[in-house]
Amino acid sequence: MVHLRSMIKGSSSVSRGEEVADRSHSKSGIGVVIWNVTYDCNMRCSHCYQSEWRPIRELSDFNELRIVDQLEELGKPLIFISGGEPLLKSQTPQLIRELKARDFRVILSTNGSLSGALRSVADSLDNIALPLYGPEEFHDTITGVKGSYNSVINALRDLKGMNLTIKTVASRSTVKHIRHLLDVASRYDVSTLYVCDLLPEGRASSSEILSKEEWRKLIDFFLQEVIMEEEYGEIEIDIGLHPSAAIYASMRAGFEVKRRIMREGRGLISISPTGDVLLSPYLGDLRIGDARRIKEALESDIYREVGDARNLKGVCGDCPFKEVCGGSRVKAYVYSGDLLGEDPTCLIN
Ligand code: SF4
């Protein structure tokens, strides 16, 4: 997570979440949990890192493993409830209410298609993230579901006034529609646009991946027109899976990155639908522990090794920014098979 507006202007709609994550991280080593409650999904997005939903035994009772109790003891990290489509799971609303009752900060990432379920939990959420890829026909082609664009717009209209995020993926096809997304965001008072880099995994096509130069142009646009000139109001721009975007932005806009970016092995973990603790939802084959014993996963060799910037190799190992940035460990692994290798997508190298 790289919050451009917050880094430049000092605060934004995500500042409260940053505080929560930092406080929990310094208490126990865990600041952000991405909790994928199911792999099941009612859409088939062309960029999804999951190829297909696998009919495996997912957790049916969230109390079974005492996950919420453990997370509470570990300092109440920021919780992202995600999937698949998390609202397809009948137990998800109860989980969200339970987290809220215990004063966690909870963000739901949903495709917006299950409007009744979404409305029923909206008041318990601190932020609701909905996907948008471009205008109606384009969006529906990406998701593979006709009417999916309208589901998102209806959800944005229904939830206007709440803390909302539009999430998208940056690819050769979607980047042309960034202004459309910002226009929609402005119309519905959306506080954050989350732009995630595309990974060559699952259904994604590697020909759609943006080059470094295309990414730099995109960040320049965000810095100049969105953050400095505020063409679309005070919207936050959150860049996902691209930590070096923070370093590149700091060089372009002349500021210092003060907050260490939370990443795999350093504050961020994922809980899988089957109850495994993972370094990241994108690294499903790298299990670091069992959700029955989250603390043990944080003390595992792999979590410690990946989190320590002194272990990094290649350009990341030699980089003066490795403590604040550290590169994407997900990309190092996906592109080269080495978790400690260099981030091949670094925007300053
Ligand atoms: S070399 Fe690695 S640590 Fe340095 S800025 Fe690039 S991605 Fe970040």
pLDDT number for residue 59: 85
Residue that is written with structure tokens 């993926």 in the block: 169
Query: Which residue's C-alpha comes closest to atom 1 of ligand 1?
Result: 316
Ligand 1 centre distance from Cα of residue 123 (Å): 39
| In-domain check, residue 325 | no
Atom of ligand 1 nearest to the CA of 342: 2
190 in a structural domain: yes
In angstroms, the CA 189 to CA 143 distance is: 24
Whole-number Å distance between alpha carbons of 258 and 347:
19
Q: Which residues contact residue 41 at a Cβ distance below 8 angstroms, ignoring those fewer than 6 apart?
A: 48, 50, 53, 83, 84, 85, 88, 111
Asked if residue 23 belongs to a domain, the reply is: yes
Match 């009919």 to its residue by tokens. 55
Q: How far is the CA of 199 from the centre of ligand 1 (A)?
A: 18
Ligand 1 center from residue 56 Cα (angstroms): 37
User: Across residues 27-36, what is the average pLDDT?
Assistant: 95
Weakest-pLDDT range from 131-135, 192-196, 259-263: 259-263
For residue 344, how far is its CA from the centre of ligand 1 (angstroms)? 9
In a domain, 332, yes or no: no
CA of 345 to the centre of ligand 1 (A): 9
Give the pLDDT of residue 54.
63
Q: Name which residue sits closest to atom 2 of ligand 1, judged by CA.
A: 316
**pLDDT tens, residue by residue, 279-331:** 999 998 899 999 999 999 999 999 999 999 999 999 999 999 999 999 999 99
Residue whose CA is closest, atom 5 of ligand 1? Answer: 244
pTM of the prediction?
Answer: 0.95
The average pLDDT across 235-240 equals 97
Q: Kindly give the distance from the C-alpha atom of residue 260 to the centroid of ligand 1, in angstroms, as a whole number.
A: 13
Rounded CA gap, 74 and 187, in Å?
39
Asked if the structure places residue 348 within a domain, the reply is no
Cβ–Cβ under 8 Å, residues 110 and 118: yes
Q: Which residues contact 258 (CB under 8 A, 6 or more apart)?
A: none
Domain that holds residue 260: 2-300
Q: Is residue 344 part of a domain?
A: no
In a domain, 181, yes or no: yes
Question: Is 257 a member of any domain?
Answer: yes
Number of domains in the chain: 1
Quickly tell me which residue has 């959150």 as its tokens: 238
Protein residue with its CA nearest to atom 8 in ligand 1:
327
Of residues 338, 261, 269, the one with CA closest to residue 300: 269
Residue 53 confidence (pLDDT): 58
State what percent of residues in the chain have pLDDT above 90.
Answer: 84
Q: pLDDT of 201-211, one tens digit each?
A: 777 778 899 99
User: Pocket residues for ligand 1 (CB within 6 Å)?
Assistant: 243-244, 247, 315-316, 319, 321-322, 325-327, 343, 346, 348-349
CATH number of domain containing 66: 3.20.20.70
